[in-house]
Amino acid sequence: MTTQRLTRVPAPVVPGISDSVIDTATGLVYVSGVYVPVPEDFARSTELTFRALEEALVRAGTDLSHLVRVNVYVKHLDEEKLQTYRRVRDSIISAEHMPASTLVGVHSLYNHATIEIDAIAVL
């Protein structure tokens, strides 16, 4: 007999995609790539994407202070976008709760997004 370890977190998302999954054995929450396409304003898109990530974490029973890992994908990453990303991130996530992270420049993202974030948090 197997015990179910993964719990899907209900959310309004793209059909066929799990927005978030909780590993009940470890207490880890895995959040799929979150994005909010506002291609004309990278700072606003970054802020809204972090807020969407925060909403996903709250639905799972945790918050941004419990992030342990984020992977960030930025369309056409350059120095200006890097500085904008850091400024917005630092206004949302406190330095004392800064997760391990990777920032990757990419050619394109789904649905014309300019930034996408996937994450791991603890309950």
pLDDT in tens, 67-76: 999 999 999 9
The model carries a pTM of: 0.88
Q: Which CATH architecture has domain 6-122?
A: 2-Layer Sandwich (3.30)
What mean pLDDT comes out for the span 38-59?
Answer: 93
Whether residue 118 contacts residue 26, with contact meaning beta carbons closer than 8 Å, is answered with no
Q: Which pLDDT does position 2 carry in this prediction?
A: 47
Residues 6+ away with beta carbon under 8 Å from 95: none
Cβ neighbors of 71 (< 8 A, separation 6 or more) are: 101, 102, 104, 117, 118, 119
* Mean pLDDT rounded to a whole number for the chain: 90
First-residue to last-residue Cα distance in the chain: 26
